[in-house]
Amino acid sequence: MSITEVSKAMRDATAICGVGLTIGSFPDRTPLSLATEAYLLALEDAGLEREDVDGIIQLSYGADYDRFLEVVGADVRYANQGWTHGRFIAPMLQQAAMVVASGMAKAVAIVHGRKGRAFGQLADHEMWRQGLGPHGESPPYGAFSPAFGVATAAQRYFHMYGGSNEDLAPIAVAFRKHARLNPLAVRTDPMSTEDYLNSRWIVEPLRLFDCCQNSDGGACIIVTSAERARDAKKPPVYISGMQGVHAGPEFHNLTLPGLGVAQQEVYQYKPTKDDLYAYEMAGITNKDVDALITYDAFSPLVLFGLERFGFCGPGEALDFIKDGRIELGGELPVNTSGGLLSEGHVVGWNLFIEAVNQLRHDCGERQVKDAEIIQYGSFLGESIIFRR
């Protein structure tokens, strides 16, 4: 299967022109005020007026999109709202690009505000869904939290390929090093391999330092046409290629196909050309990627992201992450902001914003030298190729 002409026309047709981000602990704020602050920061960053933004996309957590628009006094001609899960952030950014490319809006703001334990969140109920929770949770058996899905996946990975929890240490240690160069990061204490191994078990084979920290915060990303983005205050960050979240019984959430989690088949997963069409759309291969940004709510997801996009073969990721290869200055820097593990977790929007900051060459001490292409790519196959 080759990609279509329409798909090729999407290459570099749209760009990110403004971003705004806050991460931390804001006990006296609401999701609505955090969303508003991020929106104002992004407008300022782009040099746009409220009236220049005629589309809005949101994942629900606090207030709905219409309440947010009421707050900022904006009428738009394109609005949509999705359901908050980390796997839905790439589809939302992709939708913003498609909306702009098709002319349904000139500029779309993706807006998010979140408080870790705020009133009215749905996640507390999801685990009772018919046919188990979204990460395989089963409350009467004590199978709680998304950690369950990824712990079962990691255990199967170790069973199939060898290795154990201690082999995950280079991930948390590398991302902590990155976070220490990031003024916004929430976890910045130094972390040695020994510190990692001394952190307490949460759901074995996962330790505390294998798990992200859910943060309060706000994020906003403004997408517009490549042409308009070139007139913005900062250099445009083009959306060059993209591919969607793969789903179905073989793609059980928080694992890689083939690991035999829940009802998955057991086999060694290796991506085919059809599994990697974002590269074709962008006209690159994974060798052109200067840094990889991947969804790391839990450290084993980094292994799955690397294998999903063929940076290494099946079962090879535990070796790949060794010897500083995924650190700044290494062969493939990964999650240069510190990722969700150490920068903080704003549903993952902060991962996209790191890609933007890197390609603007705005990252100071943690800048990937001469970065031209950064890939967001995660274990479920969703990806966005960003280009300077």
Partner 1 sequence: MKPSQKMIDEETGRYLPVIYPEELPYWKGAKKRELWLQRCTDCGKTLYPIGPACPRCLSVNLQWTRMSGKGKLHNYVVYHKPWTPWFKDKVPYAVVQVELEEGPRLTTNLLDCPIDDIKIGMPVEVDYEDIPDGITLVQFRPAQE
Provide, rounded to whole angstroms, the least separation between the CB of residue 112 and partner 1.
26
Provide, rounded to whole angstroms, the least separation between the CB of residue 145 and partner 1.
6
Q: Of 31 and 163, which CB lies nearer to partner 1 in the complex structure?
A: 163
Contact residues: partner 1, CB under 8 A: 125, 128, 130-132, 136, 138-145, 148, 151-152, 155-156, 159, 200-205, 249, 260-263
Grouping H, G, I as helix, E, B as strand and the rest as coil, residue 163 is coil
Q: Of 98 and 262, which CB lies nearer to partner 1 in the complex structure?
A: 262
Q: Of 2 and 138, which CB lies nearer to partner 1 in the complex structure?
A: 138
Provide, rounded to whole angstroms, the least separation between the CB of residue 105 and partner 1.
38
Q: Cα separation of 60 and 254, whole Å? A: 21
Q: Of 203 and 356, which CB lies nearer to partner 1 in the complex structure?
A: 203
Q: Cα separation of 30 and 319, whole Å? A: 43
Residues whose CB falls within 8 Å of the CB of residue 48, separated by 6 or more in sequence, listed in order: 17, 18, 107, 222, 232
Q: Of 156 and 366, which CB lies nearer to partner 1 in the complex structure?
A: 156
Provide, rounded to whole angstroms, the least separation between the CB of residue 304 and partner 1.
16
Q: Cα separation of 109 and 95, whole Å? A: 11
Q: Of 136 and 217, which CB lies nearer to partner 1 in the complex structure?
A: 136
Provide, rounded to whole angstroms, the least separation between the CB of residue 354 and partner 1.
29
Q: Of 117 and 369, which CB lies nearer to partner 1 in the complex structure?
A: 117
**Distances from the Cα of 232 to the Cαs of 57, 93, 199, 273, 355, in angstroms?**
21, 19, 45, 36, 18
Provide, rounded to whole angstroms, the least separation between the CB of residue 148 and partner 1.
7
Q: Cα separation of 155 and 205, whole Å? A: 7
Q: Of 65 and 148, which CB lies nearer to partner 1 in the complex structure?
A: 148
Q: Cα separation of 347 and 59, whole Å? A: 9
Provide, rounded to whole angstroms, the least separation between the CB of residue 14 and partner 1.
37
Q: Of 203 and 291, which CB lies nearer to partner 1 in the complex structure?
A: 203
Provide, rounded to whole angstroms, the least separation between the CB of residue 152 and partner 1.
5
Provide, rounded to whole angstroms, the least separation between the CB of residue 195 and partner 1.
18
| Cβ contact 10:95 at 8 Å | no
Q: Of 127 and 229, which CB lies nearer to partner 1 in the complex structure?
A: 127
| Cβ contact 156:164 at 8 Å | no
Q: How far is CA 258 from the centre of its chain?
A: 22
- The two tokens of residue 119 are 């009133």
Strand arrangement, sheet containing 14-24: 78-83, 55-60, 107-114, 216-225, 14-24, 237-243, 383-387, 373-377, 291-293
Q: Cis link prior to 205 (omega < 30° from 0)? A: yes
| Cβ contact 168:210 at 8 Å | yes
Provide, rounded to whole angstroms, the least separation between the CB of residue 154 and partner 1.
8
Task: Spell out the SS3 assignment of 63-120.
Answer: CCHHHHHHHHCCCCCEEEEEECCHHHHHHHHHHHHHHHHCCCCCEEEEEEEECCCCCC
